[in-house]
A and B are shown apart, each in its own frame.
Chain A
């Protein structure tokens, strides 16, 4: 899983029917220091996260489809938690 920040959401009227009712969040992956790292990810919202929230994102289709509660959907990422705290014990 990765840590990211919700930076927006995406709506689409013409789409695969399994996406009916699914909320799509735009998530920017972050380093542990909170800096942007890599490309933004489009993920199914599983926890009603809002823009600005720091979130935990699973990057795997089988899990993402379960979060959407529609197994076999064409999804590959989902937000599964809103992060309250990340505690680091060492950098290495």
Chain B
């Protein structure tokens, strides 16, 4: 899980990436507190700045875009509505 804290504008060669939003994320814990280093992810669900999202890493990060070939190692695959069970 992470929070979207920024955007990246980059000149890319691969046409499939051109239309894809590139976002800066920071991980959040079950109590929605950020931690660790910021990192970059591709968006596959149309999320916005400040939203809390969940993402997939590794090779599977390309799957949301198939058959398009997007070279991603981190892709946002869901926008969080609410986290239950974090009140403790």
Contact = CB atoms under 8 A, between A and B. Distances in A.
Contacts, number: 103
In this complex, the member of B7, B59, B61, B73 whose beta carbon has the largest number of chain A beta carbons within 10 angstroms is B73
A24 interface: no
Interface residues of B, number: 34
Contact of B10 (A64, A66, A67, A82): A82
A61 B71 CA distance: 9
Contacts of A26: none
A88 B8 CA distance: 9
A83 interface: yes
Given A62-B59, A62-B62, A56 B5 contact: no
B17 interface: yes
A92 B39 contact: no
Contact of B40 (A2, A60, A61): A2
A58 interface: yes
Nearest to A76: B73
A59 B57 CA distance: 10
Nearest to A83: B10
Contacts of A40: none
Given A3-B40, A46-B13, A56-B40, 20 more contacts: A1-B74, A2-B40, A55-B10, A56-B12, A62-B59, A63-B62, A63-B71, A64-B71, A67-B14, A67-B71, A80-B13, A80-B14, A81-B12, A82-B10, A83-B10, A86-B6, A87-B8, A88-B5, A89-B49, A90-B50
Interface of B: 3, 5-14, 17, 22, 24, 26, 34, 37-42, 49-50, 58-59, 61-62, 69-74
